[in-house]
């Protein structure tokens, strides 16, 4: 416990704000973010278990990641009040190397329980020599956030909630839902996302006043573009939330915002506090992360009918939360956006906590490979990429090629919304026949919505789509951070 508290006491005091410059300036100007050699990130929850209904992965509970550039080490702490854990626990640690294009390659040398299995029945701790590989992290420019992909688990988004937001004037953010399992599965370890009734994307104005964080002008939309007027999946069909206040305060996760109810639960034994409602973090540069609940089992709204049992009403994304960024103050330069190179994650939410996929992705190429010819041709709004051979970006052949992956996936952003800079409401995703998650044996497409902009002078693209062609039918999320 003392070791963990020492790590948290070293969180850098970064300034919260919104990035500027380039073809997609944000709504506010902030000074450059100072890089830190030691940083701690709050990790949100993403639905998915290890191998069956009721099994939780380390993506299913709240966590923090500490990364130390000087020692080249990392540590993950989880925070749960179920299974065999009661409060905070260092779950994994190890070292890392930096691969081409800034991708961090984590090697796990310690785990509290057996690596790659559910909590149930685990005993430990365990050490590993050689380290367990296949684990990666991508950091946002300015260290305001990022993504982690541990082998065999769904990805998790990270935010450096190092300080409470302090905006001189309200800032507008756009967001997309991080989808839960698609359909009506009621397994307790998954948060269900139904695109016909639940939020896919939206926007919000965020203002601050002391410890109070004001969320106003909230607009939520279905994937079809229809604005959410009521929460049809909650008992009584309550009206959609358009404004509410949250409270920002120091927690084990950093300076996070509790909303809509600043309710705190204390575990006297571990002297830990958690919030059963939504937890929001805003990192330097404006990276926005909303986590819908303390773990996936009580996350967001849960199916329909007699199962309308959400513990609160979601006010940004549905599913297991939302990921967002500042809305640009002018239209995004699409040519610059599609011409950049990215690292990120392709996430298929599946139809239960046992059927999902999550893999490191590379998009954009310095030179377009011939493999892209199997996908629709460039039309000015296309960006090409995909997974890595064998889901292994650390492969020497990949690294010798500059760290670029396959070309078996493409996104046609389509037209930028004339009223909302950085919103692409009619995007199309093309899944190539060679993509590992494609079970059809042919190239096919599905509709999606994307948001894009800049944070600390680098582009980010976040997308949510609904795939009713592949097997299983599912939601796809694509989360890209510029790497060049």
Write down the domain spans for the chain. 2-15+30-159, 171-326, 334-482
More confident residue, 114 or 366: 366
- Overall average pLDDT of the 166-191 stretch: 78
- Overall average pLDDT of the 34-48 stretch: 81
Q: Which pLDDT value is given to residue 462? A: 98
What percent of the chain has a predicted confidence (pLDDT) above 90? 58
What percent of the chain has a predicted confidence (pLDDT) above 70? 76
Residues 161 and 12: their CA atoms lie apart, in Å, by 10
**Among 262, 416, 419, which residue's Cα sits nearest to residue 338?**
416
Q: How confident is the model at residue 434 (pLDDT cuts 50, 70, 90)?
A: very high
Residue count of the chain, please give it: 484
Please check the confidence at residue 269 and state whether its pLDDT lies above 70: no
Q: Which pLDDT value is given to residue 50? A: 60
Q: How confident is the model at residue 16 (pLDDT cuts 50, 70, 90)?
A: very low
Residues 171 and 255: their CA atoms lie apart, in Å, by 18
Fold (CATH) for 2-15+30-159:
Porin (2.40.160)
Task: Using alpha carbons, list the distances in angstroms from residue 84 to 81, 88, 189, 244.
Answer: 8, 12, 15, 36
Least confident of 1-15, 258-272, 371-385: 1-15
Q: Which pLDDT value is given to residue 116? A: 65
More confident residue, 150 or 19: 150
Q: Which pLDDT value is given to residue 276? A: 53
Residue 241 near residue 260, CB atoms below 8 Å: yes
Residues 432 and 286: their CA atoms lie apart, in Å, by 33
Q: How confident is the model at residue 305 (pLDDT cuts 50, 70, 90)?
A: very low
Least confident of 189-198, 266-275, 346-355: 266-275
- Overall average pLDDT of the 335-360 stretch: 90
β-strands 181-182, 171-178 pairing: unpaired
H-type helices in 300-354, by residue range? 334-339
Residues 193 and 216: their CA atoms lie apart, in Å, by 24
Residues 281 and 160: their CA atoms lie apart, in Å, by 7
- Overall average pLDDT of the 429-454 stretch: 95
Q: Which pLDDT value is given to residue 10? A: 28
CA 136, 139, 143, 146 dihedral sign is negative
- Overall average pLDDT of the 6-20 stretch: 30
Q: Which pLDDT value is given to residue 7? A: 32
DSSP string, 69-92: TTTTEEEEEEEESSTT--EEEEEE
More confident residue, 123 or 71: 71
Please check the confidence at residue 82 and state whether its pLDDT lies above 80: no
Residue 243 near residue 257, CB atoms below 8 Å: no
Please check the confidence at residue 15 and state whether its pLDDT lies above 90: no
**Among 291, 268, 270, 204, which residue's Cα sits nearest to residue 241?**
204
Q: Which pLDDT value is given to residue 231? A: 81
Residue 163 near residue 282, CB atoms below 8 Å: no
- Overall average pLDDT of the 194-205 stretch: 92
Count of helices and strands (H, E) across the chain: 3, 28
Least confident of 32-41, 96-105, 138-147, 149-158: 32-41
**Among 407, 388, 408, which residue's Cα sits nearest to residue 398?**
388
Q: pLDDT tens digit string along 151-164?
A: 988 899 999 999 99
Please check the confidence at residue 171 and state whether its pLDDT lies above 80: yes
Q: Which pLDDT value is given to residue 235? A: 66
Q: Which pLDDT value is given to residue 331? A: 97
- Mean pLDDT for all residues in the chain: 82
């Amino acid at each position: 416990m003392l070791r963990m508290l020492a790590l948290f006491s070293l969180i850098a005091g970064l300034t919260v704000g919104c990035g500027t410059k380039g073809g997609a300036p944000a709504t506010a100007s902030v000074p450059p973010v100072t890089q830190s050699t030691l940083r701690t990130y709050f990790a949100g929850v993403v639905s998915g278990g290890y191998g069956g209904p009721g099994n939780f992965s380390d993506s299913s509970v709240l966590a923090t990641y500490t990364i130390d550039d000087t020692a080249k080490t990392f540590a993950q702490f989880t925070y749960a009040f179920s299974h065999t854990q009661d409060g905070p626990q260092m779950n994994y640690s190890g070292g890392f190397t930096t691969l081409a294009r800034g991708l961090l390659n984590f090697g796990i040398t310690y785990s509290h329980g057996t690596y790659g299995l559910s909590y149930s029945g685990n005993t430990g701790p365990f050490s590993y020599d050689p380290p367990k590989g296949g684990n990666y992290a991508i950091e946002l420019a300015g260290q305001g956030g990022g993504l982690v992909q541990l082998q065999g688990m769904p990805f998790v988004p990270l935010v450096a909630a190092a300080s409470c937001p302090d905006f001189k004037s309200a800032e507008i953010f756009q967001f997309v839902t991080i989808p839960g399992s698609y359909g009506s599965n009621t397994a307790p370890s998954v948060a269900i996302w139904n695109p016909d009734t639940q939020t896919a994307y939206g926007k919000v104005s965020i203002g601050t006043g002391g410890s109070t964080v004001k969320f106003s002008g909230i607009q939520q939309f279905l994937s079809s573009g229809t604005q959410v007027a009521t929460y049809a999946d909650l008992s009584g069909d309550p009206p959609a939330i358009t404004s509410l206040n949250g409270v920002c305060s120091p927690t084990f996760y950093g300076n996070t915002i509790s909303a809509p109810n600043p309710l705190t639960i204390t575990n006297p034994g571990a002297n830990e506090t958690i919030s059963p409602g939504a937890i929001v973090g805003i990192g330097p540069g404006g990276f926005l992360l909303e986590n819908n609940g303390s773990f996936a089992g009580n996350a967001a709204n849960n199916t329909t009918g007699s199962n309308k049992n959400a513990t609160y009403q979601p006010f940004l994304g549905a599913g297991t939360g939302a990921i967002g960024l500042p809305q640009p103050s002018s239209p995004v330069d699409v040519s610059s956006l599609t011409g950049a190179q990215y690292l990120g994650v392709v996430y298929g939410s599946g139809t239960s906590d046992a059927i999902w996929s999550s893999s490191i992705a590379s998009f954009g190429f310095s030179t377009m490979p011939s493999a892209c010819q199997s996908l629709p041709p460039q039309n000015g709004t296309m960006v090409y990429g995909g997974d890595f051979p064998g889901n292994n970006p650390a492969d020497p052949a990949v690294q010798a090629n500059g760290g670029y992956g396959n070309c078996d996936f493409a996104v046609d952003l389509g037209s930028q919304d004339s009223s909302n800079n950085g919103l692409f409401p009619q995007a199309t995703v093309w899944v190539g026949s060679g993509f590992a998650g494609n079970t059809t044996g042919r190239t096919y497409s599905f509709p999606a919505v994307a948001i894009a902009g800049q944070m600390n002078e680098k582009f980010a693209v976040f997308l949510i789509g609904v795939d009713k062609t592949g097997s299983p039918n599912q939601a796809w999320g694509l989360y890209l951070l510029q790497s060049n």
